[in-house]
Amino acid sequence: QVQLVESGGGLVQAGGSLRLSCAASGRTFSTNVMGWFRQAPGKERDFVAVISWSGVSTYYTDSVKGRFTISRDNAKNTLYLQMNSLKPEDTAVYSCAGTSRSYSISHYSEPNVYDYWGQGTQVTVSS
């Protein structure tokens, strides 16, 4: 069983940047697809980005394209989300998730394809 622990959240002004990390335990991280999701208060969990096990393929929701970058370091068992040009509407709890299942990259925008999740880290963007 893989366990995920997110870090790097915090309070930032609009236009600022944050880098989220997701540290994974277990030996299967390097072979799993990993994604980032976010959930704002009173809203459903939304897909943010996904990355293939090799890091070659990535896919983003439209609202973060050009601002966020997902990456991974399999040697360190760590997933990252670099967030630039942050907006107040990016405020949410950000969670990482992983799965060993194989789909087309865009299918990983569905939360139910993931097998394990982290607890989340709060990101607050002030205007």
Per-residue confidence (pLDDT) for residue 50, from 0 to 100: 98
The pLDDT tens digits for 29-50 are 989 999 999 999 999 999 999 9
Q: Phi and psi for 67 in degrees, rounded to 5?
A: -115, -35
Helices (H), 81-120: none
| Locus of tokens 């939304």 | 46
95 CB-contact burial (10 Å; exposed 0-12 / middle 13-18 / buried 19+) = buried
Per-residue confidence (pLDDT) for residue 27, from 0 to 100: 78
- Give the model's confidence band at 100: pLDDT under 50 very low, under 70 low, under 90 confident, else very high: very high
**Does residue 1 surpass a pLDDT of 80?**
no
Mean pLDDT of 85-109: 96
